[in-house]
């Protein structure tokens, strides 16, 4: 048996500023008409932005702070005619560790702010990591 610690602590490294103000206003995925948004990177993490340029694609990992962490089963797409499915085989925001994954393009850089598109995360969503994409065939 492996022993893993029971918990880890993460601190937000940034925050989303968006015109999307509520989950009900947000599209289910970025590609479904999500707007551009600004990611404010906090000062302590700002050096880690070095190398991000306009035109790059990056992956944001967010913490979906409005999620219900007790949800294990959902009706996909909110359609109650679809049988209940485990959240691990969906992109439901409701899940035990509610991470959001967002592949976005960098539109603009201003100090420690990054304008990206498309982003379905709502205003105030914490950003917990940013990664480069890999070559296209291996993006994850």
Q: Beta strand 57-63 with 14-17: parallel, antiparallel or unpaired?
A: unpaired
DSSP 33: T
Identity of the residue, 79 or 137, whose beta carbon is nearer to a second copy in the bound complex: 137
Q: Please report whether residue 132 would count as binding a second copy according to CB under 8 A.
A: yes
Distance (Å, rounded) from C-alpha 30 to C-alpha 35?
8
Binder of a second copy out of 22, 24, 50, 78 (CB under 8 A)? 50
Smallest CA-to-CA distance from 112 within 61, 41, 59, 53 is with 41
Report the residue from 65, 75, 113, 117 that binds a second copy according to the rule CB under 8 A.
65
Place of tokens 């691990």: 88
Residues that bind a second copy (CB under 8 A): 2, 4-13, 15, 17, 29-31, 41, 44-45, 47-52, 56, 58-59, 61, 63, 65, 72-73, 84-91, 95-97, 99, 101-103, 123-124, 126, 128-132, 134, 137-140
């Amino acid at each position: 048996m492996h022993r893993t610690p029971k918990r880890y602590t993460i601190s937000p490294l940034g925050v989303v500023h968006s015109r999307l103000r509520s989950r009900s206003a947000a599209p289910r995925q970025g590609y479904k008409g999500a707007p551009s948004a600004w990611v404010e990177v906090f000062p302590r993490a700002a050096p880690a932005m070095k190398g991000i340029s306009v035109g790059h694609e990056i992956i944001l990992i967010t913490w979906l702070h409005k999620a219900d962490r007790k949800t294990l089963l959902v009706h996909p797409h909110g359609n109650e005619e679809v049988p209940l499915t485990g959240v691990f085989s969906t992109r439901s925001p409701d899940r035990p560790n509610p991470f959001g994954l967002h592949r976005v393009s960098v539109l603009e850089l201003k100090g420690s702010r990054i304008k990206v598109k498309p982003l379905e995360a709502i205003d105030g969503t914490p950003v917990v990591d940013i990664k480069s994409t890999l070559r296209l065939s291996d993006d994850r």
